[in-house]
Amino acid sequence: MSPLLVRRARAVAALGLLGLLAALIWLGAVEPVVSYVQTAATERGISLRALKRNRALLHQSEAIQAARVSVDESPRWRNFYDGPRADAATLQMEADLRAILKDTGNPTSMIAAPPVPQGSITRIAVRITLSMRMDQLAQMLDLIQKHDRQLRVESLIVQAPDFQGVQANPQLAIQAEITALMTDRGSDRT
């Protein structure tokens, strides 16, 4: 072999080894550093987004607390029966209904239905049976509607006599289920 070919072979081998050495340095040192920098930048971006979200939640938390204070101080709470026990609220509702019915005569029967929890409030109900005239029924329904508490007639069955005069004000047999809502606002305050 000629000395020129040997030199060229050595130069090509040296260039090959240099390329191989550069690739090994790239894969062994540069690539992990580049990957680390990219991962750190990604994690930094995630952390910044989480911090922004948490700051926004702090501002929302203040708005939520202000709204809760507004709800707690609302005069609409007067529309609900208040107390820790549903049976006490039902007794108060029965007393309110007796006060409404005092001019029309006492009810034949008044039966408390079991309370039904509906989230943070409880539905209380009373089934009443009574006898009254048509004008007294209209007056009773008007008083129920105007009552301080939000009373609601959920069921009303009226039985009238088969025959009556033109201007008659007949005696009616009435069965009604009247409901209201009860809350214990003191127990969920934090």
Helices (H), 26-131: 31-72, 86-100
pLDDT band at residue 178 under the 50/70/90 scheme: very high
Whether residue 45 is found in the same domain as residue 108: no
**Nearest residue to 129 via CA among 178, 176, 168:** 176
Asked whether residue 187 carries a pLDDT value surpassing 60, the answer given is: no
Whether residue 64 is found in the same domain as residue 116: no
Q: What's CA 76's distance to the chain center, in Å? A: 18
Residue 93 located in a structural domain:
yes
Whether residue 69 is found in the same domain as residue 109: no
Mean pLDDT along residues 16-25 = 84
Of 73, 98, 133, which residue sits at a domain end? 73
Residue 174 in tokens: 């009435």
Asked whether residue 59 carries a pLDDT value surpassing 70, the answer given is: yes
Whether residue 89 is found in the same domain as residue 167: yes
Whether residue 105 is found in the same domain as residue 169: yes
For 21-58, b/e burial (b = at least 16 CB within 10 A) is eeeeeeeeeeeeeeeeeeeeeeeeeeeeeeeeeeeeee
Of 29, 48, 73, which residue sits at a domain end? 73
**Nearest residue to 140 via CA among 124, 153, 157:** 153
Residue 58 located in a structural domain:
yes
Whether residue 66 is found in the same domain as residue 110: no
Asked whether residue 83 carries a pLDDT value surpassing 80, the answer given is: no
The pLDDT of residue 118: 86
Q: What is the DSSP secondary structure assignment for residue 108, as one 8-state letter?
A: S
The pLDDT of residue 113: 92
Tallying the residues shown for the chain, one arrives at 190
Residue that has been written with the tokens 């040296």 in this structure: 14
Q: What's CA 108's distance to the chain center, in Å? A: 40
Whether residue 116 is found in the same domain as residue 174: yes
Asked whether residue 165 carries a pLDDT value surpassing 90, the answer given is: no
Mean pLDDT along residues 153-174 = 85
DSSP 153-180: EEEEEEE--S---TT---EEEEEEEEEE
Asked whether residue 4 carries a pLDDT value surpassing 70, the answer given is: no
- The answer to whether the predicted template modeling score (pTM) of the entire model surpasses 0.75 is no
The pLDDT of residue 127: 95
Mean pLDDT along residues 144-166 = 87
The pLDDT of residue 105: 66
Q: What does pLDDT average to over the chain?
A: 84
Rounded CA-CA distance 150/152 in Å is 6
pLDDT band at residue 63 under the 50/70/90 scheme: confident
Whether residue 35 is found in the same domain as residue 119: no
Please give the residue range of the domain that contains residue 62.
1-73
Highest mean pLDDT among 27-31, 122-126, 169-173, 183-187: 122-126
Whether residue 83 is found in the same domain as residue 51: no
The pLDDT of residue 18: 84
- Please give the tally of structural domains in the chain: 2
Residue 53 located in a structural domain:
yes
The pLDDT of residue 153: 93
Of 25, 55, 73, which residue sits at a domain end? 73
Whether residue 93 is found in the same domain as residue 176: yes
Residue 77: how many other CB atoms lie within 10 Å: 12
Residue 190 located in a structural domain:
no
Element (H, E) at 12: helix 3-25
Whether residue 101 is found in the same domain as residue 153: yes
Q: Cβ contacts of residue 164 below 8 Å, gap of 6+?
A: 170
Whether residue 82 is found in the same domain as residue 45: no
